[in-house]
Structure 1
Amino acid sequence: MPSTDHRRTWPEDLSSYCFEVPFGEETVLFDSARGIHLTDTAGRSYIDSLSGVFVSCFGYSCEPIVDAVTQQLRKLPFNPPLHGTNPAALALTDALARLAPEGLNTVKLVNGGSEAVEASLRLARLTQRELGNPGRYKLLSYYHGYHGATFGSLSLTGRPDVTRFGPSLPGVVHVWSPDMFASVHGTDAEESGRLAAEAIERTIQAEGPDSVAALVMEPVIHLRGMAIAPPGYLARVREICDRYGVLLVFDEIVTGFGRTGQPFAAQTFGATPDLMAVGKGISGGYAPLAAVLFNDKVAGVLTDASGTSSFAPSHTYAANPLAAAAGLASVTLYSEGGYLDSNATLATSFTSNLTEALGDRGDLRSVGLLYGAKLRPLPDDPEGSAGAAVASACQERGLILRGQDDWITLAPAFTTTEEETAEICGKFTDALDKVYGGRM
């Protein structure tokens, strides 16, 4: 096994840099990348089975996106956002509207997923007010979902660890997702979906329908180990929202752009929201970019006499020409590159290999090229930290995935080869063998 001693490449003084997560023995100083392989400053190689963090759908050396950004950089790196926009941004919004579920015709470009969710919240409350419902300000979301790091989006997250920032955004009400009913009550997927939908309806009734602006949800919940919406559940939720005049918002930051087998999870699960936040894979990881897509009901409150929509406040880099060029190249590549078919083939191979690797050590959850596994508890592990242990063992072997609590997640790049699939699953098997001491 390659040496894990890469700390010698770090500067002696790190006091000026605030890390994303606490610095430790496993923190890596990445230096370069090619395909789905990264190299750190100590020369050690890693194979990425997480697409960075559900972002790098086409790997780290996608020439069409690199060329598009390079050309845009030479032509127009920035435009005055208070005075106009740029052709790449216009072309990207048109491409997104054509790719999106029918009815989501208007697109607001923003910088990242948190900002897309935050904009969705403002749009939902604004729409209700402009439609004559100023009392509708409450926002429903899942316990233990994840929606971002800005204050509003973090308030939706519903995890105890966010309370360290103080009281959350007023008006946020949390509900339980279907997988909670399955794990606590042992119900099957269909019954869990029925119970969760019924709980949402009862929550709307209890809060007062005239006070609820929107329900915000992830079709597949990443921080619950890729908890997948049961069949028919999202369609039932859509019907409930319509009945009570509640706007439905899908957070498709993780699930968008082919991850679930269709362009968006809304199409995979057969339910179209009023607003949809998208990001991550939208630019293939080559620039910070996200968007909010919404229907005519929402767009109608933003449209002026010229027939165009506008929505502020916005941000300096929203619809930035470099990010838009990356996004247009990425969306075009996905739309025209045959990835729906090739992703299905890759998913079949990956699912088979991961199922064999897991054995009795966990239960695989998968839809398209999104994978989660709920892991069996480790002996003498009351905290349920098998996910972190497996992720650490994988990184020791040069494999990047995510692990936390009792779950792990993978999201391979669309360009992953059969050989790379075998390499990923081989390293995963070795890591599981180390953590669990062989197959159970």
Structure 2
Amino acid sequence: MPSTDHRRAWPEDLSSYCFEVPFNQDSILFEKARGIRLTDTAGRSYIDSLSGVFVTCFGYSCEPVLDAVTQQLRTLPFNPPLHGTNRAALALTDALARLAPEGLNTVKLVNGGSEAVEAAMRLARYTQRQLGRSGRYKILSYYHGYHGATFGSLSLTGRPDVTRFGPGLPGAVHVWSPDMFAAVHQVEAEESGRLAAEAIERTLLAEGPDSVAALVVEPVIHLRGMAIAPDGYLARLREICDRHDVLLVFDEIVTGFGRTGRPFAAQTLGAIPDLMCVGKGISAGYAPLAAVLFNDTVAGILSDGPGPSSFAPSHTYAANPLAAAAGLAAVTHYTEGGFPAGNVALARSFNDGLTQAIADRGDVRGIGLLYGAKLRPLPDDPDASAGAAVASACQERGLILRGQDDWITLAPAFTTTAAETEEICGKLTDALDKVYGGRV
């Protein structure tokens, strides 16, 4: 079993580096990767059951993407963005429009999920203004969702921990998701969806429909332990938004590119938004990349007539040829590499193994190759930290997943083998046995 003491693998002085998360004895200095395994500077190996963070859907050694990026790097690594674009970006936007739900025909490329959400917020407000609804600036989103790390996207993230940055963006209004109603009122999923949709419409009416530009939702809420939208719920939101001239935005940064069984959760769950934010798996982790897709109504606001639309201000590296080449190769690999069909069998096997590992220590939530488990509380644990304890025990055993509060999440790469699935579930079982003291 790997030791949790990684200090001997780190340089002595780390004072110049600002970490993404607080540095502690479990922090890893990664050295290399192959397949779905990572190796640190001390030579320890880890099997990645989270696809990095829902990103490396083909693992860490996908030759088609590596080849495309290498060729692009040697040909055109960058182009002046104020003066033109590149072939890879044009081809990628066409591929994304063909893969997307019907009606989302226009694509704006950006660098990451936070930028995609920011762009969608600006597009929603601008569209409403150009349609003669200048008073519509408010944007509704979930409590305890997550939409990114920039100021606007954090404002939509209705969590207490983001208030340390001070007041958020004016007009951000939060609503409760269906899983809250299910937990508090002890109702079935479909009823929780009905109650949540009704509460959202009541909030919209209380705020004044003439002040609301958009509703932004995650079809599957990662930071609530993969809370999956109940059947019919997103369709209800579509009806509510249409009734009140509010734009519906799906944050599919986690759920896109085959994670839910179809290319996007909008297709899996049966509702089409006006705008859709995508990222993470879009480049399979080989370059920073994300996008906003939107319908003809929004696109028409950005164009003087037939032909391409334009939307600024933008970013220096948006539609960068290297990132676009990675994205085009990844999207092509997904559509032509047999993954839509292959993922069905992998999802079935992984779900069976995960359910057996969790057993009576929690409830498994799964859709496609996205998994969460709401864990049973630990004795004498007022902070509800079972998720972090299980994640730490997994890391000790060379398994990477995410755990926080009372949940864990997993998102295996599409290339995960049957043997690797068994190994992941075995390590998770051992970790759960340690945290819970064996099965009860």
CA distance in 1, matches of 2:304, 2:3: 62
Who is 1:399 aligned against?
399
CA distance in 1: counterparts of 2:256 and 2:206, whole angstroms: 33
Distance 1:253 1:132 in 2: 30
1:174-203: per-residue Cα shift (whole Å, max 9, x none)? Answer: 000000000111010011000000001101
The yes-or-no answer on 1:165 pairing with 2:145 is no
Structure-to-structure mapping, 1:49-198, within 5 angstroms: 49-198=49-198
Asked if residue 425 in structure 1 is aligned to residue 434 in structure 2, the reply is no
1:47 and 2:30 matched = no
Deviation per CA, 1:2-24: give whole Å up to 9, x if none: 33332112111100000000100
Counterpart mapping for 1:284-295 below 5 A: 284-295=284-295
Deviations 1:126-147 (A, max 9, x none): 0000000000000000000000
Could you list the structure 1 runs, at least 4 aligned residues long, displaced by more than 4 angstroms after superposition. none
Local SS of the residue matching 1:360: helix
Whole-angstrom CA distance in 1 between matches of 2:52 and 2:103 = 31
Give me the whole-angstrom Cα distance separating, in 1, the residues matched to 2:281 and 2:370.
13
Give the structure-2-normalised TM-score. Answer: 0.99
Deviations 1:233-287 (A, max 9, x none): 0001100000000000000000000000000000000000000000000000000
Deviations 1:104-128 (A, max 9, x none): 0000000000000000000000000
- Supply the AA of the counterpart residue of 1:291: A
Measure how far apart 1:343 and its partner are. Answer: 0.4
Q: In the alignment, is the contact (CA less than 8 A) between 2:261 and 2:367 conserved in 1?
A: yes
> CA offsets, 1:47-92, max 9 Å, x none?
0000000000000000000000000000000000000000000000
Per-residue CA deviations over 1:268-315 (Å, capped at 9, x if unaligned) read 000000000000000000000000000000001001246220000000
3-state SS, counterpart of residue 365 of structure 1: strand
Give, in whole Å, the separation in 2 of the partners of 1:419 and 1:78: 41
In 1, Cα distance between the equivalents of 2:3 and 2:246?
55
* C-alpha separation in 2, matches of 1:161 and 1:340: 37
Q: Which amino acid aligns with 1:439?
A: R
Give the whole-Å Cα distance in 2 for the aligned partners of 1:19 and 1:5.
18
Alignment of 1:365-380 (within 5 A): 365-380=365-380
Instruction: Give the partner amino acid of 1:435.
Output: V
For 2:49 and 2:37, how far apart are their aligned partners in 1? 9
Write the deviation string for residues 321-363 of structure 1: whole angstroms up to 9, x where unpaired: 0000000000000111111111010000000000000110000
- Distance, in Å, in 2 between the alignment partners of 1:266 and 1:305 is 29
SS of equivalent residue, structure 1 residue 17:
coil
Please tell me the residue identity of whatever aligns with 1:130: Q
Separation in 1, partners of 2:235, 2:61: 39
Q: Structure 2: how far apart are the matches of 1:345 and 1:80?
A: 45
SS at match of 2:412: coil
Residue 70 of structure 2 aligns to a residue whose secondary structure is: helix
Report 1:204-215 matches (<5 A). Answer: 204-215=204-215
Match of 1:10 in 2: 10
1:369-419 CA-to-partner distances (Å, cap 9, x unmatched) read: 000000000000011000000000000000000000000000000000000
**Matched residue type, 1:196:** A
C-alpha distance in 1 between matches for 2:3 and 2:296:
57
Aligned to 2:36: 36
Q: Deviations over 1:210-244 (max 9, x none)?
A: 11000000000000000000000000110000000
Provide the residue aligned with 1:299 in structure 2.
299
| AA aligned opposite 1:190 | E
Inter-partner Cα distance in structure 2 for 1:54 and 1:167: 30
Q: CA RMSD in A?
A: 0.6
**In the alignment, what sits opposite 1:199?**
199
Do 2:256 and 2:263's aligned partners in 1 also have CA atoms closer than 8 Å?
A: yes
What is the identity, as a one-letter code, of the residue corresponding to 1:106? T
Q: Which 10-residue stretch deviates more, 242-251 or 332-341?
A: 332-341
* 1:8-45 deviation line (CA, Å, top 9, x unaligned): 12111100000000100000000000000000000000
Helix, strand or coil at the partner of 1:359? helix
Q: Equivalent pairs: percent with the same residue?
A: 84
| Structure 1: gaps spanning 5 or more residues | none
Q: CA separation in 1, counterparts of 2:116 and 2:5?
A: 39
| Residue equivalent to 1:243 | 243
Q: State the alpha-carbon separation in 2 of the partners of residues 19 and 45 from structure 1.
A: 22
Using the alignment, how far apart are the partners of 1:369 and 1:327 within structure 2? 20
- Superposition map of 1:230-269 within 5 A: 230-269=230-269
Q: Which runs of 5+ in 2 are unaligned?
A: none
Any conservation in 1 of the 2:5–2:26 contact (CA below 8 Å)? no
Find the aligned partners of 2:6 and 2:208 in 1 and give their Cα distance. 56
